[in-house]
Amino acid sequence: MGESTMSPDEAREAARSWLSDHWHGTDDDAWRDAVVSAGWAAPTWPADNYGRGLDRKAARAAAEEFRAAGAPGGCQDMTPFHDNPWLYLLGNPLLAYGGKEAKEHFIPLLLKGDVGQGCLLYSEPGAGSDLAGLQTRAELDGDEYVVTGQKIWTTNGQVAKYGLLLARTDWDVPKHAGLSFFVIDMKQPGIEVRPIRQITGDAEFNEVFLTEARVPAAWMIGAPGEGWRALQIALAAERSGMGSMSSSMSGTAIKTGLREAADDLVEAARRAGRLDDAQVRQDIVRIMSWRLTNIWTGRRAAAEIKRGPSSLASLGKLAMSRILHAGADFTYRMQGEESLVYDYDNPLSCPVDRDLMFAFINSIGGGSDQIQRNIISERVLGLPKGHEPDKGVPFRDVRKGAATRSVSQACASTRTTPPENERDTR
Protein backbone atom coordinates (compact mmCIF):
# COMPACT_ATOMS: atom_id res chain seq x y z
CA MET A 1 0.00 0.00 0.00
CA GLY A 2 1.31 3.45 -0.86
CA GLU A 3 4.03 2.20 -3.23
CA SER A 4 6.02 4.98 -4.90
CA THR A 5 6.96 5.27 -8.56
CA MET A 6 9.81 7.65 -7.73
CA SER A 7 12.87 7.20 -9.94
CA PRO A 8 16.41 7.09 -8.51
CA ASP A 9 17.06 10.67 -9.63
CA GLU A 10 13.79 11.84 -8.07
CA ALA A 11 14.57 9.99 -4.83
CA ARG A 12 18.05 11.51 -4.75
CA GLU A 13 16.65 15.01 -5.18
CA ALA A 14 13.91 14.43 -2.59
CA ALA A 15 16.44 13.17 -0.03
CA ARG A 16 18.84 16.03 -0.77
CA SER A 17 16.08 18.62 -0.36
CA TRP A 18 14.79 17.06 2.85
CA LEU A 19 18.28 16.87 4.34
CA SER A 20 18.91 20.50 3.45
CA ASP A 21 15.84 21.48 5.45
CA HIS A 22 16.25 19.13 8.43
CA TRP A 23 19.87 18.02 8.98
CA HIS A 24 21.81 20.49 11.11
CA GLY A 25 24.64 18.23 12.21
CA THR A 26 23.17 17.02 15.52
CA ASP A 27 22.28 13.35 15.97
CA ASP A 28 19.75 13.47 18.81
CA ASP A 29 16.27 12.13 19.57
CA ALA A 30 14.60 14.93 17.64
CA TRP A 31 16.64 14.10 14.55
CA ARG A 32 15.89 10.38 14.76
CA ASP A 33 12.17 11.13 15.22
CA ALA A 34 12.23 13.33 12.13
CA VAL A 35 13.96 10.68 9.99
CA VAL A 36 11.46 8.01 11.04
CA SER A 37 8.41 10.25 10.64
CA ALA A 38 9.49 11.28 7.15
CA GLY A 39 9.92 7.65 6.05
CA TRP A 40 13.64 7.98 5.34
CA ALA A 41 14.75 5.49 8.03
CA ALA A 42 13.54 2.58 5.87
CA PRO A 43 12.39 4.03 2.54
CA THR A 44 11.67 0.63 0.90
CA TRP A 45 9.10 -0.15 3.59
CA PRO A 46 5.46 0.70 2.80
CA ALA A 47 4.38 4.29 3.31
CA ASP A 48 1.80 3.20 5.89
CA ASN A 49 4.55 1.41 7.86
CA TYR A 50 6.98 4.30 8.37
CA GLY A 51 8.58 3.97 4.92
CA ARG A 52 8.21 5.65 1.54
CA GLY A 53 7.49 2.68 -0.71
CA LEU A 54 10.65 3.16 -2.83
CA ASP A 55 12.22 0.39 -4.85
CA ARG A 56 15.78 -0.55 -3.98
CA LYS A 57 17.40 1.45 -6.79
CA ALA A 58 15.67 4.62 -5.65
CA ALA A 59 16.47 3.86 -1.99
CA ARG A 60 20.15 3.36 -2.84
CA ALA A 61 20.22 6.79 -4.45
CA ALA A 62 18.70 8.28 -1.31
CA ALA A 63 21.21 6.42 0.86
CA GLU A 64 24.04 8.02 -1.09
CA GLU A 65 22.67 11.45 -0.17
CA PHE A 66 22.50 10.56 3.53
CA ARG A 67 26.10 9.31 3.41
CA ALA A 68 27.29 12.40 1.57
CA ALA A 69 25.64 14.63 4.18
CA GLY A 70 27.03 12.57 7.07
CA ALA A 71 23.48 12.18 8.37
CA PRO A 72 22.88 9.01 10.42
CA GLY A 73 19.73 6.94 10.74
CA GLY A 74 18.63 7.04 7.11
CA CYS A 75 18.08 4.15 4.69
CA GLN A 76 18.74 1.46 7.29
CA ASP A 77 17.01 -1.08 5.06
CA MET A 78 19.97 -0.76 2.68
CA THR A 79 22.41 -2.07 5.29
CA PRO A 80 23.61 -5.70 5.39
CA PHE A 81 21.99 -8.10 7.86
CA HIS A 82 25.05 -8.25 10.12
CA ASP A 83 25.18 -4.46 10.50
CA ASN A 84 21.66 -4.37 11.95
CA PRO A 85 20.21 -7.90 12.35
CA TRP A 86 17.30 -6.88 14.55
CA LEU A 87 15.96 -4.62 11.77
CA TYR A 88 15.29 -7.78 9.76
CA LEU A 89 14.61 -10.34 12.50
CA LEU A 90 11.91 -8.16 14.09
CA GLY A 91 11.11 -5.77 11.26
CA ASN A 92 10.32 -8.34 8.58
CA PRO A 93 7.79 -10.34 10.66
CA LEU A 94 6.18 -7.10 11.87
CA LEU A 95 5.73 -5.86 8.30
CA ALA A 96 4.30 -9.20 7.17
CA TYR A 97 2.03 -10.11 10.10
CA GLY A 98 2.18 -7.48 12.84
CA GLY A 99 -1.01 -5.87 14.09
CA LYS A 100 -1.57 -2.11 14.14
CA GLU A 101 -0.70 -1.70 17.84
CA ALA A 102 2.47 -3.81 17.61
CA LYS A 103 3.66 -1.90 14.54
CA GLU A 104 2.98 1.49 16.09
CA HIS A 105 4.82 0.50 19.26
CA PHE A 106 7.86 -1.33 17.87
CA ILE A 107 8.64 0.06 14.41
CA PRO A 108 9.50 3.60 15.58
CA LEU A 109 11.59 2.17 18.45
CA LEU A 110 13.33 -0.18 16.03
CA LEU A 111 14.15 2.50 13.46
CA LYS A 112 15.34 4.98 16.12
CA GLY A 113 17.66 2.35 17.61
CA ASP A 114 15.76 2.19 20.91
CA VAL A 115 14.92 -1.52 20.82
CA GLY A 116 18.49 -2.35 21.79
CA GLN A 117 19.94 -5.85 21.74
CA GLY A 118 17.47 -8.67 21.10
CA CYS A 119 17.43 -12.43 21.45
CA LEU A 120 15.59 -15.38 19.88
CA LEU A 121 13.56 -17.60 22.20
CA TYR A 122 13.00 -20.58 19.91
CA SER A 123 14.86 -23.79 20.83
CA GLU A 124 14.12 -25.82 23.95
CA PRO A 125 15.85 -28.78 25.63
CA GLY A 126 13.37 -31.13 23.92
CA ALA A 127 12.69 -29.11 20.77
CA GLY A 128 15.65 -28.11 18.63
CA SER A 129 15.60 -29.70 15.20
CA ASP A 130 11.93 -30.53 15.78
CA LEU A 131 11.18 -26.97 16.78
CA ALA A 132 7.42 -27.30 16.28
CA GLY A 133 7.43 -29.80 19.16
CA LEU A 134 8.18 -27.07 21.71
CA GLN A 135 6.29 -27.06 25.02
CA THR A 136 6.67 -23.53 26.36
CA ARG A 137 3.06 -22.48 26.96
CA ALA A 138 1.39 -19.08 26.65
CA GLU A 139 -2.06 -18.83 28.22
CA LEU A 140 -4.37 -15.86 27.74
CA ASP A 141 -5.20 -13.92 30.92
CA GLY A 142 -7.26 -10.85 30.08
CA ASP A 143 -5.25 -8.73 27.64
CA GLU A 144 -1.97 -10.52 28.39
CA TYR A 145 -0.47 -13.95 27.88
CA VAL A 146 1.21 -15.74 30.78
CA VAL A 147 4.28 -17.64 29.60
CA THR A 148 5.93 -20.61 31.32
CA GLY A 149 8.70 -22.83 29.94
CA GLN A 150 12.38 -22.98 29.10
CA LYS A 151 14.46 -21.91 26.12
CA ILE A 152 18.06 -22.81 25.38
CA TRP A 153 21.01 -21.73 23.21
CA THR A 154 19.75 -18.15 23.44
CA THR A 155 22.46 -15.83 22.12
CA ASN A 156 22.70 -12.50 23.96
CA GLY A 157 19.89 -13.44 26.32
CA GLN A 158 21.80 -11.91 29.23
CA VAL A 159 21.82 -8.45 27.63
CA ALA A 160 18.65 -8.53 25.52
CA LYS A 161 15.95 -5.94 26.07
CA TYR A 162 13.36 -7.84 24.01
CA GLY A 163 13.07 -11.39 22.72
CA LEU A 164 11.22 -13.01 19.84
CA LEU A 165 9.26 -15.81 21.49
CA LEU A 166 7.67 -18.87 19.92
CA ALA A 167 5.22 -20.47 22.37
CA ARG A 168 2.29 -22.89 22.34
CA THR A 169 -1.15 -21.33 22.72
CA ASP A 170 -3.25 -24.34 21.65
CA TRP A 171 -2.59 -27.96 22.64
CA ASP A 172 -5.62 -29.45 20.88
CA VAL A 173 -4.44 -29.00 17.28
CA PRO A 174 -1.43 -30.48 15.40
CA LYS A 175 1.89 -29.12 16.61
CA HIS A 176 2.53 -26.47 13.95
CA ALA A 177 -1.00 -25.07 14.19
CA GLY A 178 -0.85 -24.44 17.93
CA LEU A 179 2.09 -22.01 17.96
CA SER A 180 2.06 -18.22 18.32
CA PHE A 181 4.82 -15.64 17.86
CA PHE A 182 5.42 -12.79 20.32
CA VAL A 183 7.76 -9.97 21.21
CA ILE A 184 8.45 -10.24 24.94
CA ASP A 185 10.09 -7.87 27.41
CA MET A 186 13.17 -9.67 28.76
CA LYS A 187 13.64 -7.31 31.72
CA GLN A 188 10.75 -8.47 33.87
CA PRO A 189 10.18 -10.72 36.89
CA GLY A 190 9.67 -14.31 35.87
CA ILE A 191 12.53 -14.44 33.36
CA GLU A 192 15.87 -15.81 34.51
CA VAL A 193 18.84 -16.03 32.17
CA ARG A 194 21.71 -18.39 32.95
CA PRO A 195 24.91 -18.41 30.80
CA ILE A 196 26.25 -21.58 29.17
CA ARG A 197 30.02 -21.95 29.00
CA GLN A 198 31.16 -22.60 25.41
CA ILE A 199 34.13 -24.51 24.04
CA THR A 200 35.83 -21.16 23.35
CA GLY A 201 35.61 -20.19 27.02
CA ASP A 202 33.01 -17.51 26.31
CA ALA A 203 29.42 -17.53 27.56
CA GLU A 204 27.34 -15.91 24.83
CA PHE A 205 24.65 -18.61 24.83
CA ASN A 206 22.14 -18.98 27.63
CA GLU A 207 19.35 -20.99 29.13
CA VAL A 208 16.24 -18.88 29.70
CA PHE A 209 13.66 -19.88 32.31
CA LEU A 210 10.22 -18.29 31.99
CA THR A 211 7.97 -18.60 35.03
CA GLU A 212 4.63 -16.85 34.58
CA ALA A 213 6.27 -14.09 32.55
CA ARG A 214 3.80 -11.77 30.87
CA VAL A 215 3.46 -10.39 27.36
CA PRO A 216 0.69 -8.10 26.05
CA ALA A 217 -1.69 -9.84 23.65
CA ALA A 218 -1.13 -6.90 21.28
CA TRP A 219 2.54 -7.91 21.03
CA MET A 220 1.64 -11.14 19.26
CA ILE A 221 2.84 -11.08 15.64
CA GLY A 222 0.11 -12.66 13.56
CA ALA A 223 -3.07 -14.27 14.84
CA PRO A 224 -3.12 -17.01 17.50
CA GLY A 225 -1.91 -20.23 15.89
CA GLU A 226 -0.09 -18.42 13.06
CA GLY A 227 3.24 -18.37 14.84
CA TRP A 228 4.88 -20.89 12.53
CA ARG A 229 4.16 -18.68 9.50
CA ALA A 230 5.53 -15.57 11.22
CA LEU A 231 8.58 -17.53 12.39
CA GLN A 232 9.45 -18.45 8.80
CA ILE A 233 9.89 -14.77 7.96
CA ALA A 234 12.36 -14.32 10.81
CA LEU A 235 14.18 -17.58 10.00
CA ALA A 236 14.51 -16.62 6.33
CA ALA A 237 16.19 -13.35 7.35
CA GLU A 238 18.48 -15.14 9.80
CA ARG A 239 19.49 -17.88 7.36
CA SER A 240 20.05 -15.41 4.56
CA GLY A 241 22.28 -13.36 6.88
CA MET A 242 24.21 -16.40 8.10
CA GLY A 243 24.65 -17.59 4.53
CA SER A 244 26.07 -14.30 3.27
CA MET A 245 28.55 -13.42 6.00
CA SER A 246 31.55 -11.38 4.91
CA SER A 247 33.61 -12.26 7.97
CA SER A 248 34.69 -15.29 9.91
CA MET A 249 32.92 -16.04 13.16
CA SER A 250 35.54 -14.15 15.18
CA GLY A 251 35.19 -11.08 12.98
CA THR A 252 38.15 -11.52 10.61
CA ALA A 253 37.14 -9.76 7.38
CA ILE A 254 36.62 -11.87 4.27
CA LYS A 255 36.77 -9.76 1.13
CA THR A 256 34.19 -10.44 -1.54
CA GLY A 257 35.84 -9.22 -4.74
CA LEU A 258 36.93 -11.74 -7.37
CA ARG A 259 40.62 -10.86 -7.01
CA GLU A 260 40.67 -10.63 -3.22
CA ALA A 261 38.27 -13.30 -1.93
CA ALA A 262 41.21 -15.43 -0.74
CA ASP A 263 43.50 -12.71 0.64
CA ASP A 264 43.30 -14.09 4.20
CA LEU A 265 44.15 -17.61 3.03
CA VAL A 266 47.04 -16.42 0.88
CA GLU A 267 48.43 -14.43 3.80
CA ALA A 268 48.19 -17.47 6.11
CA ALA A 269 50.11 -19.59 3.58
CA ARG A 270 52.70 -16.85 3.11
CA ARG A 271 53.33 -16.60 6.86
CA ALA A 272 53.77 -20.38 6.96
CA GLY A 273 56.23 -20.29 4.03
CA ARG A 274 54.01 -22.64 2.02
CA LEU A 275 52.71 -20.40 -0.72
CA ASP A 276 54.57 -22.43 -3.38
CA ASP A 277 53.10 -25.74 -2.14
CA ALA A 278 50.86 -27.08 -4.94
CA GLN A 279 48.41 -28.72 -2.53
CA VAL A 280 48.13 -25.56 -0.45
CA ARG A 281 47.43 -23.50 -3.57
CA GLN A 282 44.76 -26.00 -4.61
CA ASP A 283 43.12 -25.70 -1.18
CA ILE A 284 43.10 -21.91 -1.46
CA VAL A 285 41.44 -21.95 -4.87
CA ARG A 286 38.83 -24.48 -3.75
CA ILE A 287 37.77 -22.38 -0.73
CA MET A 288 37.88 -19.20 -2.79
CA SER A 289 35.52 -20.73 -5.38
CA TRP A 290 33.10 -21.76 -2.62
CA ARG A 291 33.12 -18.25 -1.19
CA LEU A 292 32.46 -16.56 -4.51
CA THR A 293 29.72 -19.00 -5.50
CA ASN A 294 27.98 -18.46 -2.19
CA ILE A 295 28.16 -14.69 -2.55
CA TRP A 296 26.35 -14.97 -5.89
CA THR A 297 23.79 -17.40 -4.44
CA GLY A 298 23.25 -15.00 -1.54
CA ARG A 299 22.47 -12.15 -3.90
CA ARG A 300 19.93 -14.31 -5.70
CA ALA A 301 18.37 -15.35 -2.38
CA ALA A 302 18.18 -11.72 -1.22
CA ALA A 303 16.30 -10.81 -4.39
CA GLU A 304 13.86 -13.69 -3.91
CA ILE A 305 13.26 -12.88 -0.23
CA LYS A 306 11.99 -9.45 -1.28
CA ARG A 307 9.08 -11.31 -2.89
CA GLY A 308 8.57 -13.71 0.04
CA PRO A 309 10.33 -16.57 1.88
CA SER A 310 12.99 -18.32 -0.20
CA SER A 311 14.52 -21.75 0.31
CA LEU A 312 17.70 -20.44 -1.31
CA ALA A 313 18.59 -19.01 2.09
CA SER A 314 19.05 -22.61 3.27
CA LEU A 315 21.46 -23.25 0.38
CA GLY A 316 23.56 -20.26 1.39
CA LYS A 317 23.57 -21.13 5.07
CA LEU A 318 24.56 -24.76 4.41
CA ALA A 319 27.29 -23.65 2.02
CA MET A 320 28.59 -21.14 4.55
CA SER A 321 29.00 -23.93 7.11
CA ARG A 322 31.35 -25.72 4.75
CA ILE A 323 33.15 -22.48 3.90
CA LEU A 324 33.73 -21.52 7.54
CA HIS A 325 34.90 -25.00 8.55
CA ALA A 326 37.23 -25.29 5.55
CA GLY A 327 38.68 -21.79 5.91
CA ALA A 328 39.26 -22.18 9.66
CA ASP A 329 40.82 -25.62 9.20
CA PHE A 330 43.15 -24.25 6.51
CA THR A 331 44.45 -21.33 8.58
CA TYR A 332 44.75 -23.62 11.61
CA ARG A 333 46.93 -26.04 9.63
CA MET A 334 49.04 -23.19 8.25
CA GLN A 335 49.73 -21.99 11.78
CA GLY A 336 51.31 -25.31 12.72
CA GLU A 337 52.23 -26.10 16.30
CA GLU A 338 51.37 -22.58 17.45
CA SER A 339 47.69 -23.53 17.05
CA LEU A 340 48.04 -26.00 19.91
CA VAL A 341 48.04 -23.13 22.42
CA TYR A 342 44.69 -21.34 22.84
CA ASP A 343 45.76 -18.07 24.42
CA TYR A 344 43.74 -14.83 24.38
CA ASP A 345 47.01 -12.89 24.67
CA ASN A 346 48.36 -14.28 21.39
CA PRO A 347 47.09 -11.93 18.65
CA LEU A 348 47.85 -14.40 15.84
CA SER A 349 46.85 -17.83 17.11
CA CYS A 350 43.81 -16.93 19.23
CA PRO A 351 41.57 -15.68 16.36
CA VAL A 352 42.52 -18.73 14.28
CA ASP A 353 41.69 -21.14 17.10
CA ARG A 354 38.42 -19.34 17.83
CA ASP A 355 37.40 -19.46 14.16
CA LEU A 356 37.95 -23.22 14.16
CA MET A 357 35.62 -23.65 17.14
CA PHE A 358 33.13 -20.93 16.21
CA ALA A 359 32.49 -22.50 12.80
CA PHE A 360 30.18 -24.95 14.54
CA ILE A 361 27.82 -22.11 15.43
CA ASN A 362 26.84 -21.68 11.78
CA SER A 363 26.28 -25.44 11.53
CA ILE A 364 23.76 -25.37 14.40
CA GLY A 365 22.26 -21.89 14.85
CA GLY A 366 19.27 -20.88 12.73
CA GLY A 367 18.57 -24.55 11.95
CA SER A 368 21.24 -27.24 11.81
CA ASP A 369 22.98 -28.36 8.62
CA GLN A 370 20.80 -31.48 8.68
CA ILE A 371 17.62 -29.38 8.80
CA GLN A 372 18.88 -27.25 5.89
CA ARG A 373 19.44 -30.43 3.87
CA ASN A 374 15.86 -31.50 4.56
CA ILE A 375 14.55 -28.10 3.46
CA ILE A 376 16.64 -28.16 0.27
CA SER A 377 15.61 -31.73 -0.58
CA GLU A 378 11.89 -31.04 -0.11
CA ARG A 379 11.45 -27.41 -1.21
CA VAL A 380 14.21 -26.99 -3.81
CA LEU A 381 14.62 -30.49 -5.25
CA GLY A 382 11.02 -31.57 -4.76
CA LEU A 383 11.87 -34.87 -3.05
CA PRO A 384 9.19 -36.58 -0.89
CA LYS A 385 9.00 -35.81 2.80
CA GLY A 386 10.10 -38.29 5.42
CA HIS A 387 7.65 -40.13 7.65
CA GLU A 388 5.80 -37.86 10.09
CA PRO A 389 4.19 -40.03 12.78
CA ASP A 390 2.63 -37.02 14.53
CA LYS A 391 1.15 -35.44 11.40
CA GLY A 392 -2.44 -34.39 12.03
CA VAL A 393 -2.32 -35.53 15.67
CA PRO A 394 -3.38 -33.02 18.35
CA PHE A 395 -0.22 -32.01 20.17
CA ARG A 396 -1.74 -32.96 23.51
CA ASP A 397 -1.71 -36.61 22.30
CA VAL A 398 1.85 -36.60 20.88
CA ARG A 399 4.52 -38.43 22.85
CA LYS A 400 6.93 -35.90 24.36
CA GLY A 401 10.13 -35.72 26.36
CA ALA A 402 10.70 -33.52 29.39
CA ALA A 403 9.82 -29.90 28.68
CA THR A 404 12.33 -28.18 30.97
CA ARG A 405 15.15 -28.56 33.40
CA SER A 406 14.89 -26.75 36.68
CA VAL A 407 17.25 -23.87 37.47
CA SER A 408 18.89 -26.04 40.13
CA GLN A 409 19.49 -28.82 37.58
CA ALA A 410 21.03 -26.28 35.20
CA CYS A 411 23.42 -25.09 37.91
CA ALA A 412 24.36 -28.63 38.93
CA SER A 413 25.23 -29.60 35.36
CA THR A 414 27.63 -26.69 34.93
CA ARG A 415 28.84 -25.39 38.28
CA THR A 416 27.51 -25.05 41.79
CA THR A 417 27.81 -21.28 42.04
CA PRO A 418 28.00 -18.87 39.09
CA PRO A 419 31.08 -16.62 39.04
CA GLU A 420 30.48 -13.22 40.60
CA ASN A 421 30.40 -11.46 37.23
CA GLU A 422 27.70 -13.78 35.88
CA ARG A 423 25.18 -13.48 38.71
CA ASP A 424 21.99 -11.49 38.40
CA THR A 425 22.18 -11.48 34.61
CA ARG A 426 18.47 -10.95 34.15
Residuewise pLDDT in 10s, the chain (426 residues) = 446 679 999 999 999 999 999 999 999 999 999 999 999 999 999 999 999 999 999 999 999 999 999 999 999 999 988 889 999 999 999 999 999 999 999 999 999 999 988 999 999 999 988 899 999 999 999 999 999 999 999 999 999 999 999 999 999 999 999 999 999 999 999 999 999 988 888 888 899 999 999 999 999 999 999 999 999 999 888 877 765 554 444 444 455 555 678 898 999 999 999 999 999 999 999 999 999 888 888 777 777 766 666 677 788 888 889 999 999 999 999 988 888 878 777 777 788 888 888 888 888 877 788 988 998 898 888 999 888 888 899 999 998 876 655 544 544 444 433 333 333 333
CB atoms within 10 A of CB 385: 9
Give the β-pairing of 137-141 and 144-151: antiparallel
DSSP state letter for 379: I
**What are residue 182's DSSP bridge partners?**
165, 220
Known catalytic membership, residue 337: no
Task: Tally the residues of the chain.
Answer: 426
**What are residue 384's DSSP bridge partners?**
none
Which residue of the set 212, 238, 337, 422 is catalytic? Answer: 238
Long-range contacts of residues 57-64, Cβ cutoff 8 Å, at least 24 apart: 57/8, 58/4, 58/6, 58/7, 58/8, 58/10, 58/11, 59/11, 60/8, 61/8, 61/9, 61/11, 61/12, 61/15, 62/11, 62/12, 62/14, 62/15, 64/12
Confirm whether pTM is higher than 0.85: no
